[in-house]
């Protein structure tokens, strides 16, 4: 628990520094494996012109690059704020083993961020979401999956 | 509608090509603004060792880079498959105006992808998810937001 506090303190310190420097949103994240920091990152959406450059996504990308893998099984994510739906899903795809967070989605909302709004969108049927959804070519859309299933040299993830 | 079919056909063609070439998962995406393709991309998770490198995220990042902005208002996303929760959230953060998709999450699941599983995780309380969640330092976690609110030179997104 002392180590968990140390790593979370680092994530919050990164977030606070970013909040003051106008380099991106007030979020920080640290990824740890076997007691050692593998990567740490801040939100860089506005600096990188990349809406996906949240602290957690940046940290996941950096950790994968450093470890040479797309699978972070055994890694723990420390985030200064409850991961938004994008970052939570990224953690699932990366097979992160545990997530610590400090602030929550409602505290993020108070500071002007859409985390809680986007979470709420997930509970709605596709037709009721604020972004209009339309399905076309459903039959044709299955072809890539059939080709994938038949591809014997595919690399699964 | 003819144009929508043309752009979706392009997304599916990209997905099928990727499914055969072992360069990543069987997914393709195209982003269009005012009738012109701004970016197109395939899934490159295994090639880039980046679990966030889904077709839609890659296309969003490429479109933002090309247009020099983190705001894709007015852009339409054509995806060969219903965006996973990560890509759906990325579309929200990027302010994508409309989403077309062909295959759905259940057809993706049949081909071995976790889209439907991750969607189901969102409906669960934090304590019941397959990735353990723990909140620490909640009070300290609010500090970055207070600093952000007070920062008069911040760039909102």
Q: What is the mean pLDDT of residues B18-27?
A: 94
* pLDDT of B20 higher than 90: yes
In the set A36, A56, A109, A134, the catalytic residue is A56
Interface touch A91/B28, C-beta < 8 Å: no
How far apart CA B119 and CA A145 sit, in angstroms, is 19
Identify the pLDDT of residue A31: 98
* pLDDT of A88 higher than 90: yes
The minimal CB distance from B86 to the residues A16, A69, A90 is found for A90
For A89, name the nearest residue in chain B, comparing CA atoms only. Answer: B86
Give CA separation, B59 vs A32, B28, B54, in Å. Answer: 29, 9, 8
Token reading at A146: 């059939």
pLDDT band at B126 (very low <50, low <70, confident <90, very high): confident
Query: How many angstroms separate the first and last alpha carbons of chain A?
Result: 32
The minimal CB distance from A20 to the residues B99, B101, B147 is found for B147
Nearest alpha-carbon partner for B97 in B117, B77, B78: B77
Cβ atoms within 10 A of the Cβ of B1, count?
7
Identify the pLDDT of residue B1: 80
| B134 catalytically annotated | no
Burial label, A81 (beta-carbon count in 10 A; 0-12, 13-18, 19+): buried
Instruction: Confirm whether the ipTM is greater than 0.85.
Output: yes
SS (H, E, C) A17-41: HHHHHCCCCCCEEEEEECCEEEEEE
Place of tokens 């952000």: B148
Identify the pLDDT of residue A22: 81
Identify the pLDDT of residue B26: 98
Interface touch A22/B154, C-beta < 8 Å: yes
Give the distance from residue B16's alpha carbon to the nearest chain A alpha carbon, in angstroms.
4
* pLDDT of A1 higher than 90: no
How far apart CA B82 and CA B140 sit, in angstroms, is 38
Token reading at B79: 């995806």
């Amino acid at each position: 628990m002392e180590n968990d506090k140390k790593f979370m303190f680092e994530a919050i310190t990164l977030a606070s520094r970013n909040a003051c420097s106008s380099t991106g949103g007030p979020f920080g994240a640290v990824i740890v494996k076997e007691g050692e920091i593998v990567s740490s990152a801040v939100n860089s959406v506005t600096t990188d012109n990349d809406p996906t450059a949240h602290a957690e996504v940046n940290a996941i990308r950096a950790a994968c690059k450093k470890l040479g893998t797309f699978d972070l099984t055994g890694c723990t994510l420390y985030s200064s704020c409850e991961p938004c739906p994008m970052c939570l899903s990224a953690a699932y795809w990366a097979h992160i083993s545990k997530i610590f967070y400090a602030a929550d989605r409602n505290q993020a909302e108070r500071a002007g961020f859409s985390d809680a709004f986007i979470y709420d969108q997930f509970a709605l049927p596709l037709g009721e979401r604020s972004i209009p959804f339309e399905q076309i070519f459903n039959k044709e859309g299955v072809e890539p999956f059939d080709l994938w299933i038949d591809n014997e040299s595919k690399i699964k993830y």
